Amino acid sequence: MQHNFTTIQQYSTGRKETTVVLSFSFQEHELFIGLYDGKALPKSSIFYSTRIFSSNIKNSIGKKETEEYFIKHACLSRNTYRMIEQDDFDINTSLHTIVRGEDEAAMVESVGLALVKLPDVLNRLKPDVMIVHGDRFDALAVATSAALMNIRILHIEGGEVSGTIDDSIRHAITKLAHYHVCCTRSAELHLIAMCEDHKRILLAGCPSYDLLLNAKTKDYQSILQTWLGDDVKPKEYIVALQHPVTTNIKHSVKMFELTLNALITFEKRTLILFPNIDAGSKEMVRAMRKQGIEQNPNFRAVKHIPFEQFIQLVAYAGLMIGNSSCGVREAGAFGTPVINLGTRQTGRETGENVLHVRDADCQNKILHALQLQFAKQYPCSKIYGDGNAVPRILKFLKSIDINEPLQKNFCFPPVKECISQDIDHILETQSALAVDLGGTNLRVAIISMQGDLIKKYIQPNPETFNERIALIRKMCVDAATESVNLNCRILGVGISTGGRVNPAEGIVLHSTKLIQEWISVDLRTPISDALHLPVWVDNDGNCAALAEKKYGHGKGVENFVTVITGTGIGGGIIHNSELIHGSMFCAAELGHIIVSLDGPECMCGARGCIEAYASGMGLQREAKKLHDEDLLMVEGMSIKNEEAVSAVHLIQAAKLGNTKAQNVLRTAGTALGIGIVNILHTVNPSLVILSGVLASTFESMVKDVIAQRALSSTQNVEVLVSDLLEPALLGAASMALDYATRRTY
């Protein structure tokens, strides 16, 4: 029997201004909304749901005896509609909200239809409290309407976990509801974990248990005979009730077929109920027909049994099988053995009477479970309540202050600061593109925030401006494209170049003779336009100092100097943790510190610069001079014909005992040392970092000169050889990585 209507009734709590609306839905998908008005004082009101639930709002508030009356009667009622009538409820409106059909779309349309019709009704009735029960999709429509219309919602049976779409609906209603009544301690904890205000949560126990714990009647025999035949005895029959799992219809139909096969083989008297009308039920009914269940003498297939009779049938059954909540919940009150199939009730708290067959994938598994469980008697379970839920709920309802602000407050727990899931943080390493423009090579690298060189690209540095700019752009674009596959997120581009740079504008003002056509070059604009990324540019010596500051010996050091001795000599000065650029961006041109009045000629045009003594070029010049006079080569050395004489040969000769070569190196080291003493006397750093290919060659000589010549108060300076392999690239990257969050250049 299906009603397919919605009942609206009016009720007042006696205070004329307070109206309570009760909503309850049925197994057969009826959406009941009971609103009771003060004129028709009902003796009782009843909530019915997929489970029996009853309550007497009006009379309970002050009159205990009517509660008892009501509870007694709820159990005896024949069907809900008549029960409501019997209770003198004034049914003044009925709404059709169920769309015919047994698929997902029909459920959605039913919710939609209810949403269309409910505002009118609620506007007319203007309830103060709306009671929503359970987790059916129609209850979601009621809760949604009430929440949007600023009506207080009391949700019953929230916080439970069952393992289907019902979970989502139940929790969604929890979020909409202002007050919560739950059945078990774990449901209560779930509600608190869901950030609901614990002051508005009542752990009442399951209302149906109020009735169930005393529901066994002595005249059960006639009920058993009505549904199962005259010769049936208690504990000798099975009740089967299996519903489709809407999230996996195909699987649940298959599971149903296996269950039917197992039951046919088991050959016990079986009362089987047709599934509810959820999506998938049509296929399940078809499976029943195919197996000839209705013709099988052991089976009795029925569409509907009045709940109070059904409860008697469950109470005296030898076993209940299926996936209905009644099995894991109500059956426990009688200690009836239960086989719970599949995942529909996953997460529900169950008593020891329940045997789970979660993966019901073969008939034998189910058959074995039947053999284990049939005709056992378990102790009555009280997980879901102690029989006093309804009086608690009524007390709670009475305590609701309708003058209290309606705004819901969510009690969010303190959460550790964390970043929401973002592609940057899940997959990609924050990185920079680093460009190093040297006299010989043009190098581009992808460098991570941690200073790891992810990938390096090298090309000869073109001699003309146009070719060079075009190549930088191409290499950067290629690297940026590849960075995605390397799981790197490019934050910006840092460019290290020889010459004098205005870092504020990203312009190379003047270059060394090593890089042709490199004067007044705006490097920032073309690279930034090509990559749509911020671009920083600085001198290679300054970049080396930045690299030391972020990744090297200079980490955490406020005042230090880097001296790079390679082909030329450069450097950078960090003062109070900042690079010194000077008024014309010419600070830290350390290679051109002059240490003698005459001395060798320097690339800069002056004489006696430390670059002229101690750079690779300076040493090469001296090596050639010795070689031309045939004074360079010693035993154990060889220079191939095509090979240019270089600093490497000079150092090799000195190591092999060539005193002329040793003298050249000593002079170079002394010049460098004196230059560094001048730096100590100018900026008084606490650390000097020697970097570049010749750093270790000069280390001890520099230390000696400082010990001999520096003012005593600068003597505490530490001299270290850099351990960075790519200072120019790392420094260039550090500009982008450290400043990328700063949106201005």
CB of 553 to Zn ion, least distance (A): 27
Which one of the listed residues 166, 540, 628, 630 is annotated catalytic? 540
CB of 606 to Zn ion, least distance (A): 5
**Residue 604 marked as a ligand binder:** yes
User: Among 151-159, 544-552, 575-583, 601-609, which window interacts with Zn ion (CB under 5 A)?
Assistant: 601-609
Question: Catalytic residue at 540?
Answer: yes
Q: Which is nearer to Zn ion, 111 or 561 (CB)?
A: 561
Class of residue 635 by CB neighbours under 10 A (exposed 0-12, middle 13-18, buried 19+):
exposed
User: Among 101-109, 444-452, 589-597, 697-705, which window interacts with Zn ion (CB under 5 A)?
Assistant: 589-597
**Residue 283 marked as a ligand binder:** no
The alpha carbon of 500 is separated from its chain's Cα centroid by a whole number of angstroms, namely 48
CB of 612 to Zn ion, least distance (A): 6
Q: Which is nearer to Zn ion, 149 or 604 (CB)?
A: 604
Q: Which is nearer to Zn ion, 322 or 599 (CB)?
A: 599
What single letter denotes the amino acid at residue 359?
D
What single letter denotes the amino acid at residue 344?
R
User: Among 39-47, 72-80, 600-608, 649-657, which window interacts with Zn ion (CB under 5 A)?
Assistant: 600-608
CB of 669 to Zn ion, least distance (A): 18
Q: Which is nearer to Zn ion, 590 or 735 (CB)?
A: 590
- Residue 300, strand partner residues: 271
Length reported for the chain: 745
- Provide the Cα torsion 504, 508, 510, 516; round to 10°: 170
The answer to whether residue 514 forms part of the interface with Zn ion (CB under 5 A) is no
Q: Which is nearer to Zn ion, 34 or 591 (CB)?
A: 591
User: Among 75-83, 205-213, 478-486, 591-599, which window interacts with Zn ion (CB under 5 A)?
Assistant: 591-599
- 156: three-class secondary structure by DSSP: strand
Separation CA 503–CA 603 (nearest Å): 24
CB of 659 to Zn ion, least distance (A): 28
Q: Are 367 and 187 in contact (CB under 8 A)?
A: no
Reference 688, options 709, 669, 706, 670; nearest CA is: 706
Separation CA 282–CA 261 (nearest Å): 18
Q: Which is nearer to Zn ion, 207 or 692 (CB)?
A: 692
Site size toward Zn ion, by CB under 5 A = 5
Q: Longest C-alpha distance within the chain, in Å?
A: 129
Reference 559, options 545, 573, 544; nearest CA is: 573
User: Among 1-9, 299-307, 477-485, 586-594, which window interacts with Zn ion (CB under 5 A)?
Assistant: 586-594
Class of residue 423 by CB neighbours under 10 A (exposed 0-12, middle 13-18, buried 19+):
exposed
CB of 650 to Zn ion, least distance (A): 20
**Residue 482 marked as a ligand binder:** no
CB of 577 to Zn ion, least distance (A): 29
Q: Which two tokens stand for residue 391?
A: 């009086």
Q: Which is nearer to Zn ion, 606 or 711 (CB)?
A: 606
CB of 675 to Zn ion, least distance (A): 11
User: Among 32-40, 201-209, 599-607, 645-653, which window interacts with Zn ion (CB under 5 A)?
Assistant: 599-607
The answer to whether residue 602 forms part of the interface with Zn ion (CB under 5 A) is yes
Count CA within 13 A, CB hemisphere, residue 241: 24
The answer to whether residue 524 forms part of the interface with Zn ion (CB under 5 A) is no
What single letter denotes the amino acid at residue 707?
A
Degrees (nearest 5) of the Cα angle 714, 552, 685? Answer: 15
Q: Which two tokens stand for residue 2?
A: 């299906």
Give the DSSP letter string of 380-406: PP-TT--S-HHHHHHHHHHH--TTS--
Determine which residue in the list 269, 392, 592, 621 makes contact with Zn ion, applying CB under 5 A: 592
**Residue 183 marked as a ligand binder:** no
The answer to whether residue 285 forms part of the interface with Zn ion (CB under 5 A) is no
User: Among 421-429, 608-616, 643-651, 680-688, which window interacts with Zn ion (CB under 5 A)?
Assistant: 608-616
User: Among 148-156, 362-370, 590-598, 626-634, which window interacts with Zn ion (CB under 5 A)?
Assistant: 590-598
Q: Which is nearer to Zn ion, 61 or 617 (CB)?
A: 617
Q: Which is nearer to Zn ion, 504 or 606 (CB)?
A: 606
Separation CA 156–CA 160 (nearest Å): 10
**Residue 609 marked as a ligand binder:** yes
The answer to whether residue 106 forms part of the interface with Zn ion (CB under 5 A) is no
Separation CA 75–CA 311 (nearest Å): 10
Spatial neighbors of 108 by CB under 8 A, at least 6 apart, are none
**Residue 602 marked as a ligand binder:** yes
Q: Which is nearer to Zn ion, 111 or 617 (CB)?
A: 617
**Residue 103 marked as a ligand binder:** no
Q: Which two tokens stand for residue 83?
A: 């029960």
The answer to whether residue 590 forms part of the interface with Zn ion (CB under 5 A) is no
CB of 667 to Zn ion, least distance (A): 16
Find tokens 């009925």 and name the residue: 94
Separation CA 455–CA 142 (nearest Å): 60
Long-range contacts of 344-349 (CB under 8 A, 24+ apart): 344/162, 344/163, 344/164, 344/243, 344/245, 344/252, 345/162, 345/163, 346/161, 346/162, 346/163, 347/160, 347/161, 347/162, 347/163, 347/167, 348/160, 348/161, 348/162, 348/163, 349/184, 349/186, 349/383, 349/384
- Backbone phi, psi, residue 571, to 5°: 175, 180
Separation CA 102–CA 279 (nearest Å): 4
Residues 240-269 that bind Zn ion (CB under 5 A): none
The answer to whether residue 604 forms part of the interface with Zn ion (CB under 5 A) is yes
- Residue 500, strand partner residues: 510
Give the number of other CB atoms < 10 A from CB of residue 336.
Answer: 27
Q: Which is nearer to Zn ion, 72 or 513 (CB)?
A: 513
The answer to whether residue 610 forms part of the interface with Zn ion (CB under 5 A) is no
Q: Which is nearer to Zn ion, 190 or 592 (CB)?
A: 592
The answer to whether residue 609 forms part of the interface with Zn ion (CB under 5 A) is yes
Q: Are 189 and 203 in contact (CB under 8 A)?
A: no
Q: Are 517 and 525 in contact (CB under 8 A)?
A: no
The answer to whether residue 180 forms part of the interface with Zn ion (CB under 5 A) is no
SS (H, E, C) 478-539: HHHHHHHHCCEEEEEEEEEECCEEECCCCEEEECCCCCCCCCCEECHHHHHHHHCCCEEEEE
CB of 593 to Zn ion, least distance (A): 8
State the binding site for Zn(2+). 592, 602, 604, 609
Residues within the interface to Zn ion (CB under 5 A): 592, 602, 604, 606, 609
State the binding site. 500, 512, 540, 589, 592, 602, 604, 609, 611
The residues annotated with a catalytic role in the active site are 540
State the binding site for an N-acyl-D-mannosamine. 500, 512, 540, 589, 592, 611
